[in-house]
Each structure stands twice: as structure tokens, then as C-alpha cells.
Amino acid sequence: MSSSFSVAWYQLSYHKVKLAVAAAGVVVAVMLMLVQLGIRQGAMDNSVAVARRFTADLVVVSPRTKTIFASAQFPRRLLYRLGALSEVADITEMYMGQGRFRNPWDKLEFPVSIYGIDPQNPMMNLPGLERFQERLQLTDYVLFDGLSRKNYGPVLSFLRQQGTLDVEVNLRKVRIFDSIDVGISINTDGNLFMSPANFLRMFPERQPGSVDVGLLRLKSGSDVKHVRNQLRELLGAEARILTRDELVASEIVFIRENAPLDFIFGMGAAVGFFIGFVVVYQILYTEVTNHLPQYATLKAMGFSDHYLLRVVLSQSMILSLLGYFPGFLLALGLYRVATNAIQMQFTMTVGRALFVFALTIVMCGLSAMIAIRKVRTADPADVF
């Protein structure tokens, strides 16, 4: 351990209360940054979770569609043309819509996202769907998302006891026969999955010939972008074709533009950074100011400015470390609380942990840099 680091530690640890306050400031800052950035990322991830679940290589949507959560329809017949290209292995269509789910307990209606998918070939990553293939074909049989909000009532516990639950969706009586865990987002509070036929029963105004999303799987080894360009010519102006990754990217753009996630949570994180900066600066500055005569004495005895700067910088690094780890654990706890409260999944990522760690070092280092200017004013000639 270097000598300037030891001096820094002796100085910080001499007043335990002061050290605790300083560390607490950093803890709060770290926690705020982690939680705010975590919720931002979580909200973003959950909102594009549906797009990410597509297992197709290419996705066809209407040219009017900005997001698949408020999609316009395009003629299904366009999809039939696409099979002409030998690289196309499989094509399926998907209907999406927003319905009104009447909570059978309090009789109030809540919006719900409704997906009409081919149970045999959904081209969507829905683990466990295979078990329900046959029952999904039954008239007015629908599958409930087990991670939906509590708005819809105690659906899951009822299913566990009674097996099925009859509810009213879009003024039509349907039967929830089971649940599957998928997940919600800021776009949607709950999901219902069903066959296209049942979807069309629930939306009588919709035509079977106009679909929301077309999903294409290519033969393995195909050049996805090249095929997309070829198919684009086949589709003409009536539909737009994207790779799955392009769809995810455009969904992220939509979220960014429509929900001010970056601003709100970025601001929260910035506030955390600022709090930490101010607390650390205050502590370091008063430490330097209170010990100016002693620092000047050290200078008089031959210690360089550089040595004293290292002392202050070491203090800021100690505060970073003392604050980061408790702040990290606290944030993990809050992720769990938020996951339960908002019913969206929030997880810590290595990238975010490292990013916030770097921010913490910068935050403390910056405070030190400013407090250090005071050290230079310690004039050894003033000690006498």
C-alpha cells in the first residue's frame, strides 16, 4: 500500500461519522444511478420483448405501421407471393389488436393486448405453447399471460382451483383455459394468445384477409439481407419487409420517441451523480481546509504538491469503493422490489454494473480534482 494511500485512509477513518456520511452519499448516488438506468433498460427491454420473441428471419408489416403495438394491416395475399423465392422456408401470419378485458370480479374493463397466432407454427418464442396446441383450436378458447398485471383480477389462482375461467373480452364471452408466462411492458398491461379464428371472432370488424404481421423463416445459410432486398421488390409498396433485428431496432426507436424513458431515467441517474459529487466534494474540501496548516507543514518539510494531490485523490477512490459495493447491493434489492411493484422484470447486467462503477470513480475523482485546487493554496511560508 503506498504511503499517500495510507495517509488518505488514516485521515478518512479518523472521524468515523464523517466517513459514514461521505460513504452514504456515494451509496445513494450509486443506488440511484443503478436503479434509474436499470428501470430505463428494463422498460425498454420489456417493450421490445414481443419483437425479440419472433423467431422469424424476416418480418412483413404495413408501411403505415410505426410499432407492432399499434399496427396497421396489410393484405394477406401479399404473403403468398413470397413463397416464390426458393430461400423462403416457411411463412406465417399474425393478428394483433388491443381489446377490452372485463375483470369478472369488479366488472371493470381494462385494455389487453390480443395476439392471433398459428398454434402449430407461431414463429414466436413462447415456451410451453406446444402443450396447448389442441385446445387453442377450440372456439373461444384463449390463453392468458401469467405475468399480466393484477388489473384483471386473481385469474391465476382461479385457474389453479377451477381449471378454466370465462371472461368477457370485447363484449364476447371467451374461456381462459390456461396461462403461459410471457411478460408485459409499458405498452401493455396484459396479453391474451389465441388462434387467428378466435381472434377474428373477437374482432368482428376485422377481415381475415388483412393481417398485422407476416413472419418468414428462410432456409439455413441464406443471406437474410439479400433475400429481404429481393422480397422487397415482390411486395411492392403495399407492405414493408424488415429483418427481425431491424424490427427490434425500430421498436426501440419508437419507445425512445414516444416514452421519454431516456430523459426521465437519465435525469434520475444524473441527479444521483450530482448528489454523490456534491457530498464527496464537501467532505474532501472540508478535510483539506481543516488540515491546511498540516498540509503546508508537510510541504515545508519537502513533500511535493504531487504527494498531497495523491492523498486527496486516494481519499476519493476510497469513498468510491466504500460507496459502490453497498450501493450495488441496495440496488439489487430495489430491482427485486421494482420487479414486484411494477410487475416488469428488472435485472442487473455486468455492463451496467461496470458502467456505474466507472461513473462512480469519475464522480469521486471529479470532486477530488476540484477540492485539490485548495491544496495548492497551502503555502508553507505561512506556517511560521
Partner 1 sequence: MSNANLTPRLTEPTPSDPVISARHLDFSFGEGDLEKQVLFDVSFEVGSGEIVLLTGPSGSGKTTLLTLIGALRKVTSGELFVLSRPLHHTSMADLVEVRKEIGFIFQQHNLLPFMTARQNVELMFQLQPDVSRNEAALLTEQLLTSVGLSHRLDYHPARLSGGQKQRVAVARALAANPRLILADEPTAALDSQSGRDVVTLLQELARNRGCPILMVTHDPRILDIADRIINMEDGRIHSFS
Distance separating alpha carbons of residues 369 and 334, to the nearest angstrom:
32
294 is a site residue for partner 1 (CB under 8 A)? yes
Burial tier of 225 (Cβ tally within 10 Å: 0-12, 13-18, 19+): exposed
Task: Select the residue interacting with partner 1 from 17, 301, 341, 350 (CB under 8 A).
Answer: 301
383 is a site residue for partner 1 (CB under 8 A)? yes
Distance separating alpha carbons of residues 255 and 46, to the nearest angstrom:
11
Strands 58-61 and 213-218: antiparallel
Closest CB to partner 1 among residues 165, 368: 368
Backbone angles phi, psi at 71, to 5 degrees: -85, 150
Q: Compute the least distance from the CB of residue 25 to partner 1, in Å.
A: 20
384 is a site residue for partner 1 (CB under 8 A)? yes
263 is a site residue for partner 1 (CB under 8 A)? no
Q: Compute the least distance from the CB of residue 46 to partner 1, in Å.
A: 50
Q: Compute the least distance from the CB of residue 376 to partner 1, in Å.
A: 12
Q: Compute the least distance from the CB of residue 17 to partner 1, in Å.
A: 14
CB 202 within 8 A of CB 172: yes
Task: Give the type of residue at 339.
Answer: T
Total number of residues that touch partner 1 (CB under 8 A): 24
Taking contact as CB under 8 A, which single stretch among the options 8-16, 31-39, 55-63, 256-264 is the one that binds partner 1?
8-16
7 is a site residue for partner 1 (CB under 8 A)? yes
Closest CB to partner 1 among residues 8, 51: 8
Taking contact as CB under 8 A, which single stretch among the options 167-175, 191-199, 216-224, 376-384 is the one that binds partner 1?
376-384
**Binding to partner 1 (CB under 8 A): which residues in 272-291?**
291
CB 227 within 8 A of CB 88: yes
Could you give the residue ranges of the DSSP H alpha helices within the chain?
3-14, 16-47, 49-53, 77-82, 133-136, 155-162, 196-202, 224-235, 244-258, 261-290, 292-300, 305-342, 350-376
377 is a site residue for partner 1 (CB under 8 A)? no
Taking contact as CB under 8 A, which single stretch among the options 224-232, 293-301, 324-332, 361-369 is the one that binds partner 1?
293-301
Task: Select the residue interacting with partner 1 from 128, 260, 293, 333 (CB under 8 A).
Answer: 293
Angle, CA 268 vertex, CA 265 and CA 270 arms, to 5°:
110
**Binding to partner 1 (CB under 8 A): which residues in 113-142?**
none
Indicate the helix (H) or strand (E) that contains 174: strand 172-180
Task: Give the type of residue at 254.
Answer: F
Distance separating alpha carbons of residues 43 and 273, to the nearest angstrom:
21
Query: What is the number of other CB atoms lying within 10 angstroms of the CB of residue 61?
Result: 23
Taking contact as CB under 8 A, which single stretch among the options 71-79, 203-211, 259-267, 296-304 is the one that binds partner 1?
296-304
CA-to-CA dists, residue 90 to 59, 194, 284, angstroms: 12, 20, 65
304 is a site residue for partner 1 (CB under 8 A)? yes
300 is a site residue for partner 1 (CB under 8 A)? yes
Which positions lie near partner 1, rule CB under 8 A? 3, 6-7, 10-11, 13-15, 291, 293-294, 296-298, 300-304, 307, 380-381, 383-384
